[in-house]
Each structure stands twice: as C-alpha cells, then as structure tokens.
Amino acid sequence: MNSIELEYQSRMDALPGKERIARSLALLAWSRQMIARQITAERGAMSDERLRWEVALRLYGGDPTVRRMIESELADVSR
C-alpha cells in the first residue's frame, strides 16, 4: 500500500463501527448512481424500476443464479 492508502486505512480503522458502516453504505449508493448514469448514457431513458434492475444486473450478474433471477424480473418490467 502507498502512503495515502495507509493513511486512509488508519483513519477508517479509527472510526466507530457505526460510522464505518454509514460510509460503506454511502459509497455503495454513490456506486449505484454512477452505474445508473452509465446505463442511461448507453441505453437512453428507461423507467426507474427497469433502471434499478439493470444496475442490479451490472452489480450482481456475475453469479449465474442471481443473473437468472434479475433477468426474470427484467422480463416483467416495462421500458
């Protein structure tokens, strides 16, 4: 690890567990928003529900079982 990563890890380790979880959830929300913007840029506008499932597919589609479940949901969602 470089010095920036070491400092980051040191500061994260010093946080209470509740704050670390809050930061992790904020980072996950930010990531989902970024992926949603990418999907919208690639495919154009779509319903909020479809976009949520498309984001889920991008995040969790590497697992074949989860991919099938998400694709099943996508088949029932309107554009």
Cβ contacts of residue 61 below 8 Å, gap of 6+?
67, 70
How far apart, in whole angstroms, are the C-alpha atoms of residue 65 and residue 68? 5
Whole-number pLDDT of residue 71: 96
C-beta separation of 23 from 15 below 8 A: yes
How far apart, in whole angstroms, are the C-alpha atoms of residue 58 and residue 55? 5
The 10s digit of each residue's pLDDT in 1-60 is 899 999 999 999 999 999 999 999 999 999 999 999 999 999 999 999 999 999 999 999
What pTM did the predictor assign?
A: 0.80
